[in-house]
């Protein structure tokens, strides 16, 4: 089985580099929230999915991120995103096919770019408060996952 995805790199829009610079704790101790760029990428992807925001990358590319830098768990999440996007069509997970790989990567990149747009819009207002802004965003998103009716079952 030849997994063509392993050697690929996921693109990110150049105009979203500010999000990575602001939220990467290694680059910015004051505003950093995430330990790794891959964590920022996956959070943006999840946000793009949750908000159903797909956005093509235009205006140039930032430094791409190698697929093999993502954990196995993160890569499995990519598969889940593809299944969601492709209405459960498991054939889209075939990583031996160049056409599937191109579509797979484009889908991940566009949802991520959508999430990065949401994050960028929020943190550019007060970049010095990015840590708190992202903390609130994470909390809001987690609160929206559990319906109010189910909160009693979880003791929240």
Considering the entire predicted model, what is its pTM? 0.86
CA dihedral of residues 59, 43, 137, 60 (deg, nearest 10)? -10
- pLDDT for position 68: 94
Given a cut of 70, the residues of the chain with pLDDT beneath it are: 1, 144-156
Q: What is the pLDDT of residues 35-59, one digit of tens each?
A: 999 999 999 999 999 999 999 999 8
143: left (phi over 0), alpha (psi -120 to 50) or beta: alpha
What one-character DSSP code corresponds to residue 62?
A: -
- pLDDT for position 152: 57
Q: What is the pLDDT of residues 63-79, one digit of tens each?
A: 999 999 999 999 999 99
- pLDDT for position 144: 66
């Amino acid at each position: 089985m030849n997994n063509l995805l392993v050697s690929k790199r996921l693109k990110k829009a150049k105009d979203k580099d500010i999000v990575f610079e602001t939220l990467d704790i290694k680059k910015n101790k004051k505003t950093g929230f995430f330990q790794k760029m891959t964590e920022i990428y996956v959070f943006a992807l999840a946000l793009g999915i949750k908000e159903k925001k797909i956005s093509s990358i235009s205006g140039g590319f930032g430094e791409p991120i190698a697929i093999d830098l993502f954990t196995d768990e993160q890569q499995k999440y990519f598969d889940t995103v593809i299944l969601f996007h492709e209405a459960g069509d498991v054939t889209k997970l075939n990583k031996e096919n160049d056409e599937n790989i191109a579509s797979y990567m484009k889908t991940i990149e566009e949802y991520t770019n959508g999430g990065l747009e949401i994050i960028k819009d929020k943190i550019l207002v007060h970049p010095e408060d990015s840590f708190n802004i992202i903390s609130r965003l994470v909390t809001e998103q987690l609160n929206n996952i559990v319906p109010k009716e189910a909160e009693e079952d979880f003791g929240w």
